Amino acid sequence: MATHPTIGESLRQEGYRLTPQRMMILAIIRDSSDHISAEEIHQKVRQQYPFVNISTVYRTLNLLKKLRLISETDLGEGYVRYELLERGRHHHLVCRRCGESFAFEHELLRPLQLRLLKEYGFTADVDHFAIFGLCQRCRPAEEMNDVRKEGQHGAA
């Protein structure tokens, strides 16, 4: 972390002001122990700046995302969550049945990135995302449902 500029320095280098609201939003994301939603950030900002509109939070999040300082991920909860990219890239496997989420390392996606580049000339931004499926615990139950469905269709 000490070898590259801070987020504040990055904003200034790109010609953006480091306003008190931006500083607070950055601090909230940095201090969050997990991924955090825009609404959660807004609630925390309003504790010190009660008149800050949620649109300010969204504009700041969009700027930070554009500058690739934060990542945005949909974990299947109906809204997206944010995290600082300086914490390292990782991804999630999300069970569509029980909702359990499991992190996996970014390096697993490296072969996909290289193949997309080689075969399509496409540089993929895979900073942070979720793959939905069935976890080990839920998969057997789903397989039993599939067997029952097949049995019903075969009997007709």
Domains in the chain: ranges and CATH: 1-88 (1.10.10.10), 89-156 (3.30.1490.190)
Tokens of 55: 């649109």
The 10s digit of each residue's pLDDT in 67-115 is: 888 888 887 778 888 988 777 777 889 898 898 888 888 888 889 999 9
Residue scoring higher pLDDT (35 or 76): 35
Q: Specify the pLDDT at position 4.
A: 44
Phi and psi of 131, rounded to 5°? Answer: -115, 125
Q: What is the DSSP string of 75-131?
A: -SSSSEEEEEGGG--EEEEEETTT--EEEEEGGGGHHHHHHHHHHH------SS-EE
Measured over the CA atoms of residue 14, residue 20, residue 21 and residue 26, the dihedral's sign is positive
Least confident of 102-106, 109-113, 122-126, 148-152: 148-152
Q: How far apart are CA 104 and CA 106, in angstroms?
A: 7
Residue 155 has pLDDT above 60, yes or no: no
Distances (CA, A) of 137 to 2, 69, 101, 133: 41, 35, 12, 12
For the chain, first and last CA: distance in Å? 63
60 CB-near residues (< 8 Å, 6+ apart): 21, 22, 25
Tokens of 60: 């700041």
